Structure 1
Amino acid sequence: MDKKQIIFNCGWELFHSKGFKDTNISDIAKMAGIAVGTFYNYYSSKERLFFEIYIKENEKFKKRIVESLDMNQDPVTLVRQIVEQNIGAMNSNKILKEWYNRDLFRELEHYYEEVKGDDDSIRSLYTGLFKKWKAEGAIREDIDDELLPAFFDSLAYIDTHKEEIGIRHFPQLIQYLAEFIMKGLTDFKK
């Protein structure tokens, strides 16, 4: 295994167990069996290593979500499961939880956009589902195809303001908003 991969693995282990703030470069170097200066031959900062680790962790998580879903469920139930799994992972995984770190979020968001561009598997998933549901007549015909994903993109915006909304209520709020959106899009009657 090359040094960069060893640094990556040690960084992942430390970020996963201690979180971003409580992990420092000297901890990573010590665990990797390298000098601190050697770390900088591979990564310009702790943040850059973390961002790379975050992207990989997020990809693994999203893949697990997609593999666990029954795509034949009704739209409201399926979206509810996606949101619940997303919230659960964000709350239980110290690496993914850093998405909510106000000191790190903007840089992480920029790095994510730089590296991933439009390649977001969850967004691709629900965009594909909207097309499928529209073709099947399970979703409203009067809403433009380009507008449909914007409903869920708006949840991501709300997600970045959870502290202002109130952390205590936030997970339940997102679940309800996703449900209300889907009920509105499917013209759900109960």
Structure 2
Amino acid sequence: MATSKEALDQAAYKIFSEKGYKHTNIAEIAKSANMAVGSFYKFYKSKEALFIALYVQENDRVKQQLKSQIDWEAKPAKVIDQLVTTGLTIGADNPILAEGHNPDLAEDLTAYYEAETGDDQETLAQFLNKTLVTQLHQAQLGKKKRKAFLSVYDLLANMPTPTDPQDLPAYDETRKNLVKYFVKGILA
């Protein structure tokens, strides 16, 4: 049986995922967790504190998932391709991590990660950037190509996803093709 905190976390995760940070409130989370609003404050001082705790947990979970999906023994070009395609897909498909771009949260998330130390305390984006730089060096790409690659990767990583799939029905496939052919071209 889930503890009150676990029930609260599960309810918040579900509601944040469905409605986003801005459109979620403490009363709704508490009600979904079958607790009084006052009980919420036994566990978290604010909605922001709850979201950051969930974000950190989700970031760690997704980072471990990504690490397990990469063939680290492959040639650098293959590792880079896997990192970009898998990393962009995992990040874009995760509503909790997508909220990391929310201006209301960005400052608090940055402060959290700047206060922590160690490889375990980095965002998925930081991990991907650091790992891509290492792999690009191993692939012996020149400085100019590395810079171009990382600029395009940053653009792709921060490109908004359409909220209505009918707006761009082939969005996911087009994005995958763009990444695939860009990676092949720059590593050629």
TM range (shorter): 0.5 to 0.7
2:55 maps to 54
Structure 1 segments (4+ residues) deviating >2 Å: 112-131
Q: Give the residue type in structure 2 aligned to 1:65.
A: L
- Letter in structure 2 aligned against 1:36: V
| Rounded Cα–Cα distance in structure 1 between residues aligned with 2:87 and 2:131 | 17
Give the fraction of aligned pairs with identical amino acids, expressed as a percent. 29
Q: Report the count of equivalent residues.
A: 170
Shift of 1:127: 5.2
Matched, 1:10 2:2: no
Alpha-carbon distance between aligned partners in 2 of 1:101 and 1:125, rounded to the nearest angstrom: 20
Unmatched tracts of structure 2, length 5 or more: 163-174
User: Deviation string for 1:44-100 (max 9, x for gaps)?
Assistant: 110110111011111111111111111222212211221222221222211010122
Write out aligned runs for 1:1-150 (5 A). Answer: 1-115=2-116, 117-119=118-120, 120=122, 123=127, 130=134, 138-140=138-140
Q: CA RMSD in A?
A: 4.1
Q: TM-score, normalised by structure 1?
A: 0.67
Residue by residue, what CA displacement relative to the aligned partner does 1:116-163 show, whole Å, maximum 9, x if unpaired?
5543386399559949x98xxx544x99xxxxxx97xx76x956x957
Listed as ranges, the gaps of 5+ residues in structure 1 are 144-149
